[in-house]
Structure 1
Amino acid sequence: MPSTKTLREGSTPKRAAILAAARELFLANGFDRSSVDAVAARAEVSKRTVYDYFGDKRTLLQAVVDTVGESLVTTIRRILDDTLTDVADLTETADLEDVLVAFSMRIATDMLGSAEYATLQRLVRTQAGSVPEGGENALADTPDEALAERFAALAEAGLLDVPDARLAADQFIALTFNVPLNRYGSANAAEDGRVRPLVVEGVRTFLRAYRAG
């Protein structure tokens, strides 16, 4: 059972060192075989400091997962800003198809092909029984909601007909990324050339459903 003690925020460099040490050890040795003593030694802090900052080892694991997830969310938001911000410049759905394909391919390479994503997958897959209940989804709803905001803006610009922006975002993700994930076990376009055609067709299917007019 996770600790209920009051935790200290403490020193930012020490917290970062503990998280980095825990991440390395959990990946290399597994959660069960990685002791708090080993984490403290690698982070060059006291065992007491680890407990003061994180309470127990399971909470530390969740903090590692959350930190990786937050990094991925930052990547997704950067890609959104790079590709789906200037909606006023889009005048035709053909332009929109190109932009949505560009966005999807950036996700499939910069995010799904990243070391951070691979780390998150390994942590959740191999330590699934140790991550606290409800903690498996480190990305939570943040990326879906951010994409929904962009779709709502595209609807306001008259390019999409989107009665429910969040549902549209969920369906877009299912059409573009879940298909290669289900078929190939990965949507990493950086390593698998079969991903792009499925992503492109997913975008086209989405536009057939949500194209304005």
Structure 2
Amino acid sequence: MSGPAPVSIDIWVKRFGAREVLRDIALTLAPGERVAVLGPSGVGKSTLLRIAAGLDTAFEGTVRGAGRVAMVFQEPTLLPWRSARDNLVLAARIPAAEAEAALASVGLAGRGEAFPGHLSLGQQRRLALARALCARPEFLVLDEPFASLDAETAAGMRALTARLVAECGATTLLVTHAPAEAEALADRILVMSGTPAQLRPRGRSSGER
């Protein structure tokens, strides 16, 4: 039986109307590898992720090997009229007991009956992470999952996310504008820049390689 496949993302060009936003993106993630893409706001990081996750197919190129995909968006995108437990049960089609265990794994034990509007932003982001992991993804896509959090809450979320991602073993692609997030979560860091945007390697602490 063959093992997990690498994820190969080849974007020859991505346009919005006449404007080219991405060109000549060639990125391969080994099975289980965690890759972070750094870059300023508006450079095209989220567009890259939406293509990688299969949500945007209006581009020239290919995405191969993604398998079962789950995505954590910049905003939690929860169902506000459903409880925390039901947000997991409905999205991942899992039993209530499994949903409760998932809530406990992200520090939300006992909050299964709470609706998203009664949770803090940090708790909503924990719920969104639990929802993604309940899908048992082979390819996990994270779009600035700590945006708008205060420094202490963001640090806790980084540590939690790093632990759970390592435990699940999914191939992971993260985009962020914060080097600390990339350092905490990634095996490999790339930088996106230019117009149209392209990717280049970044060293962890010793500058460019």
Give the TM-score taking structure 2 as reference length: 0.27
Higher relative contact order at CA 8 Å, sep ≥6: structure 1 or structure 2?
Answer: 2
Between structures 1 and 2, the one with greater strand share: 2
Give the TM-score taking structure 1 as reference length: 0.27
Point out the structure with max Rg over C-alpha.
1
Between structures 1 and 2, the one with greater helix share: 1
